[in-house]
Structure 1
Amino acid sequence: MSSDPFDSALDLLRRLPPAKTAHNVQLLCDLAPALSEELLESVDVPLTVKKCSKSNREFLCCDYNRDGDSWRSPWSNAFEPPLEDGVCPSERVRRMEVRANEGFDVYRELYFEGGISSVYFWDIDDGFAGCVLLKKSVSPTSKTSGSWDSIHVFESQDRARMSHYKLTSTVILNLGNETGVLGSMDLSGNMVRQVEQDMAVEDDNSHVMNIGRMVEDMELKMRNLLQEVYFGKAKDVVGDLRSIQALSEANREKQAHREVISSMSK
C-alpha cells in the first residue's frame, strides 16, 4: 500500500462506487483538507450546473472556471456569485472562447438534442489552453436516472504556421434503473483517452475549427467504444448468467442441435 496520502486517496476512490465519486471526493476533502486542491484537480466528477444572472443562461462548472467559491460564466465572462478580481482570459483568448462556445452550442444541439455545453479558454506561456464541457441528463424519476458528462481538456502550443494540440478526454456515464422483476441496476464508470496532433493554423479561427474537429472525432471514438466494447461485453455477461427462455426449451434446442450434427457426421 502506498505511503503517499494522495496516492492512497486515489486508490480508495478507485475501489468505491463510481456513481458516488463526487460525494466520496467531498468526504475525502473534509477528512484531509490538505489534499483538497490536488483531489479536485485530479479526479473528474459529474459536472454541476449554474445559471448566469446576466445572460440568464445555464453553464457548467468545473475546476477550470472556478476561482475560490465563484464560477465564471462563458456567456458573460462574469463570475457567479460576483467576484471583483476573478481571473479572466486575455482579450484575444476571450474572442476565441466566444466563437468556440457558439460552435459547440450548435454541436450539442445536433449530436445530443439537448443538454448543456460550456467552453473555457485561458492563457499559458507558449499558447493557450482550454476545456470543452458537455452534459446531457435524462429526467430522473424514482425508478430511472442517467447522465453523460464529457470533459475535454486541451493545450495548444504555437509553432510556425502550425500548432501542437494535446487533448485529454474523459467521459463519465451514469445509468440507473429499477424494476420489480429485475431489481435495481447501476451501470456507472468513466473512460479517459488522450491524443496529440499537429495541425495547420492560419488565424485564430483555425484554432477553434481544429479543436472542434479533434473533440468531435474523440467523442465519436469513445461513444463507439462504450457501445461496442463495454455495453456489448455487459450484454454477453448478462446473457450467459441469465437466460430469457425456459431451461426446458433451451435443453430441447441443444438436443435438436446435437441430433442434426450427429446425422450430418454419419
Structure 2
Amino acid sequence: MSSQDPFDSALDLLRRLSPKNITNNLSTLVALSPELTEDLLSAIDVPLQISRCKKTGRDYLLCDYNRDSDSYRSPWSNEFDPPLEDGTVPSDRVRQLEIRANEAFDVYRELYYEGGVSSVYFWNLDDGFAGVVLFKKSVEGAAGVKGTWDSIHVFEAVDRARIAHYKLTSTVILNLVSESGSLGELDLSGNMTRQTEQDLTVENDDSHIPNIGRLVEEMELKMRNLLQEVYFGKAKDIVGDLRSVGSLSEAQKERSVHAEMISKMAGGSK
C-alpha cells in the first residue's frame, strides 16, 4: 500500500483541526516538517499579523506575498524589515501601480470598515502583473465579545489589447468569540474562499486600479452576505429548533387554532 504524500497529509490534518488555532497548528507542522515550510505557507491562509513601518510610522499587514526569507516588505516605504539587501521588489512601473492601489484601498478601508488596516502588494508577471489586497479589522465589545475579520484577495492581471483578464481568488477568515459568566463561551470561527474571472477594458495603467477595486468590492459584498447566511442564519435555525422563542401559552394557542382549522376542513369535505 502506497504511503500518502506528506504535504497532502498536512493539509488533511489542518482541515480537521479548529480554524481558530490555524496559526499555532501551522507553526507546529512547520516545526515537525521543515521541508514543507514553503509549500504550507503558500497554501494555507492564516489570520494576518500587523507590523509598523519604521520609516513612515504606518501600520501594514504581513503575509506570504510580502515576505522574503525572514523579512517583510512595507508597502509604504518599499523597504524590508529586518533590512534585506537583495529582497525582491516590483519593477518601477508595477511599484507605481502598487502605490496608487494602497492609497485607493486605504480610502476603501475607511469607508467600508471604519478602521482596521489595509495593505496592497504587487509583483511582476511575464505577461502582466499580480497582487494581493489585504484587510484586517478587530473589534472588542462589552461582556467579552470579540471579533476579527481578515480578507485576502489574490489576483492576476494579464495584459491584452485594450483589455485585461483578471483572475481573483478571495478568502475571508472570520473569528467571533463571546465569553460570559452566565452564558458560557461561544466560539464561531471559519473561512470561505471564492474565485471569479473577468475581462475588463483598460485605457492605460491607471485603469487597473478601479478595475481591481470593483472586483474586490463585489466579491467582498457577496462573501459577506454568504457568511451572514452560513454563520448567523444556520445558527439561528439550529437554536430555533432547540428552543422556541415564544411563550408556552402562545404555542398552545397556535396549536389549538391549527387543530380547529384542520377539523373544520375535514368536516367541510364530507
Same fold (TM over 0.5): yes
Contact 2:30 2:36 in 1 (8 A): yes
Report the CA distance between 1:181 and its aligned residue.
3.3
In structure 1, runs of 5+ residues without a counterpart are: none
- The residue correspondences of 1:1-266 to structure 2 (distance < 5 A) are 3-139=4-140, 143-245=144-246, 247=248, 250-263=251-264, 265-266=266-267
Gaps of 5+ in 2: none
Which whole-Å deviations, capped at 9, do the CAs of 1:99-156 have from their partners, x for residues lacking one? 0000000000000111000000000111100000001001377822210000000001
How far apart are residue 246 of structure 1 and its match?
5.0
Contact 1:2 1:8 in 2 (8 A): no
Would the alpha carbon gap of residues 89 and 30 (structure 1) be closer, same or farther in structure 2, given more than 3 Å must change?
A: same
Q: How far does residue 229 in structure 1 lie from its aligned partner after superposition? A: 3.8
Mapped partners of 1:262, 1:107: distance in 2 = 60
C-alpha deviations, 1:182-204, integer Å up to 9, x for none?
32111110000001111111111
C-alpha distance after superposition, 1:16-53 (max 9, x if no partner): 00111111000100111111111100000000000001
Q: In 2, Cα distance between the equivalents of 1:116 and 1:140?
A: 19
- Which residue type is aligned with residue 184 of structure 1? E
| Alpha-carbon distance in structure 2 between the residues aligned to 1:97 and 1:105 | 12
SS of the equivalent of 2:150 reads strand
Deviation at 1:234, TM superposition (A): 1.8
Distance 1:230 1:15 in 2: 18
* 3-state secondary structure, aligned to 2:171: strand
TM-score (ref. length: structure 1)? 0.94
**Structure 1, 234-243 or 68-77: larger mean CA deviation:** 234-243
The DSSP-based 3-state class of the residue aligned with 1:172 is strand
Bigger Cα displacement from structure 2, 250-259 vs 220-229? 250-259
- Mark the CA change 1:114 to 1:245 in structure 2 (over 3 Å): closer, same or farther: same
AA of the residue aligned to 2:214:
R
Aligned partners of 1:67, 1:5: CA distance in 2, in Å? 24
Deviates further, 239-248 or 221-230: 239-248
Highest CA radius of gyration, 1 or 2?
2
CA deviation map 1:62-82 (0-9, x unaligned): 000001111101111111222
Query: Percent of aligned positions with the same letter in both sequences?
Result: 67
